[in-house]
Structure 1
Amino acid sequence: MTQRAISLNLATTRQVWGFEEAVDGCLKAGITAISPWRDQIAAIGLDEAARIVRDNKIQVTGVCRGGMFPAETAAGRQANIDDNLRAIDEAAALNADCLVLVVGGLPGSSKDLVGARQMVSDGIAAMLPHAKASGVKIAIEPLHPMYAADRACVNTIDQALDICETLGETVGVAIDVYHVWWDPRLAQAIARAGRMNRIFAHHICDWLVPTKDMLLDRGMMGDGVIDLPGIRQMIEDAGFFGPQEVEIFSADNWWKRPGDEVLAVIKDRVATVC
C-alpha cells in the first residue's frame, strides 16, 4: 500500500493548540489537511478560519460536527435542525469535504431506538436541501454501541447506509475505526459503502486494552488492538483514498503532550503501522 496523506482532526491537539496554532503546527510538520471542530472555528471566527484555510491552501477533510437530531418536542427537533443549517454554512465557508454528523441518542427518558433513528433520518432530510445548495456533503458517523443511548443511535455502517439509501448520493459515511472495528460485518459493510460511492472520510486511532475511559482514552495508532492496515485495505478496495484523519481523544496522555511531539509520533505511526 502506498502512503496516504494525513489529516489532523483538531480534537487531537485541542488542549494545546487552537485553530491557528494547529494549522501552523501541521504545516511545519508537512501535514496539509485538517478537520476542525465547530467550537474551534467559533473561537477564532468563521471568516478568519476561512482565510487561514484559503491562504495556506489547507484541505479540510471534514467539519465536526453536526447531528444531535432527536429531541422530546417538535420545537426541540427544529432547533437541532436549525443548528445543523448553521453547521452547513460553516462547512461551506471552509470548503470542507464533508460535514460529519454524530446523530444523537435517545431523547429524554425515551427507550424508543427505532423512533430516535427515524428522527435522525427526518432531521437529515430536512437539512439536505440547504446542504445540496451549499455544495456540502453529509457524512453520518456510526458510533460504537456504547454510545447508542446518549450520543448516536446509529451504530453500524450498515445502519448509516440504510439512511443514505433513502436520502440520495450526497449523504454518505465517515468511517472511524474506533467505532466500527468490532463489527462482524465490517468487511461487507465497507464494500457496500464503496459500491454506493458513499465513503466520505476515514478516521484512525486505536482501541487500548484496558480502556480507562470510553470517550477520553483513545490510543495512538499501534498502541491498541485495531487491525489498522486491514481496515485501510478494505477502505481502499472500496475506492476511497482520501487522507487518513487522525482523531484521538486522550485526556491523560496525548492531550498533555506538546503538539509538535504528537504530530511527530502520528507521522511515524502512519508510516509504520497504518
Structure 2
Amino acid sequence: MMKLTSSLGAEFALTATEAGHWHAVVDDSWRGWTGPHGGALAGLLIETARQARTRDQPVRAADIRFLGRPATGAFTLHATEHIVGRGTTVLDVVAHQHGAPVAAASVTLGAPGETAIAAHSARPAPVVAAPQDCALFQLPPQIVPVGAHFVIRPAAGPLPLSGADEAMMCAWIALDPALPLEPPSLAVLADALPPGLFPLLTAPVAVPTVALSLHFHADSTRLDGLPVLVRAAAVSVGEGWAVDDTEIWDSDGVLLVTARQTRRVLG
C-alpha cells in the first residue's frame, strides 16, 4: 500500500527561511536520467509559488525554464509576487544551487469568476480499459530512480523503446507516495512518461527538457492516490529538438491539465 504525503512541499521539506526565500531538498530517489526529475522540479517551483502567494487564488498556468544542470540535494528558492488587478496574480520563482540559477517559473494564479459562457472542453478523454484491467509497467529504477515513484499502467498506444510507428503513449498513472491531485503533483505527473519519441526507438537517448508550459483546466481536488489518465505524444522531432504534448484527465474523464515540452535530442 502506498504511503501518503500531505503535499509535494512536505515531500521536499519546503521551508520558508526569510521573506520571499525558501529551502527544499530533492533526494536522489527523485533523480531522472542525469539529475532531478524535471516534473518534480516544476512541481517544487509551483508549490513555492502557492506558499508564497498572498491571495488565495488557484493556479491557472505555469511556464518553467530549465537554466542549468541541477543535481539532487538542496535548493534555495526566491519568489516575487506581482498583483495584476483584482483577479490575477503572477509569481516569479527561481531555484538556485551553489549560488547559480538552475530553474525558473512564472506561475499565474486567478480567482474563479461568474460568466454566461457555458463550460466547454475540446479534449475528451480517450476510451481505454479501467486501471485495474491494465498491467503494471515499471520504469527501470536502476537507470531512472524516479521510476519507483510512478505506478504506471499502460492503457493505449505502444510502449517506449518498442520500435513502433506511433510516437504516443497513454497510461493510468498514480504517485508513490500518494499526493493530493493539485497543480504541483499534476506537474510531476505531466512529466511521468518517457519522452514522446521513445516508442519510435529501440534504445534510449538523452532528451532533456528545456521548457515546460502547463495549463490547468479544472479543480483537481480529489482523493489521494487515485490514478489519472496521461497521454503524451511527440508533436515534432527534428534538427536536434523535439516538442511533446501531454494531456491529463481524471477517472471521470474531466480534463485537468494540458502541457507542452520543448526538448533537446542528444543522440
TM over 0.5: no
TM-score grouping bracket, smaller chain normalisation: under 0.3
Question: What TM-score do you get using the length of structure 1 for normalisation?
Answer: 0.27
Structure with a larger share of its residues in strand? 2
